Amino acid sequence: MAVQAVYFSDRDGLDMALKNPDTMLFTSKAEADARDKVLELAEEIQVYLIREVEGLGEDMAEKCAMAIAEDKDLFHKALKKPGLLNAAQE
């Protein structure tokens, strides 16, 4: 029997990673680090949204922040060409 190392982000936590192994357990440290960076960005976006959008609840802010953080490259491109945000949907 072989030994295999798996990685996860501390921000997700081991329990959450084990419940969602397809999206939160990784076979390389680089993949886990990338996930950690997305989670860090999402946390910062969430704080910003709660502060700047009156009446936005914490749960909705978290969902919005994760969507933005997970598609950060698209948002970066959309700052120059806004139509890209919805072009992928069509």
Structure tokens at 90: 């069509």
Domains contained in the chain, number: 1
6-42: string of b/e by CB count within 10 Å (b at 16+)? Answer: ebbbebbeeeebeeeeeebbbeeeeebeebbebbebb
Is 1 part of any domain? no
Is 62 part of any domain? yes
Is 69 part of any domain? yes
The pTM is what? 0.80
**Do the beta carbons of residue 70 and residue 38 sit within 8 Å?**
yes
| Domain range for 54 | 34-87
Is 47 part of any domain? yes
pLDDT tens column, 7-50: 988 888 888 888 988 888 898 999 999 999 999 999 999 999 99
Biggest alpha carbon–alpha carbon distance for the chain: 56
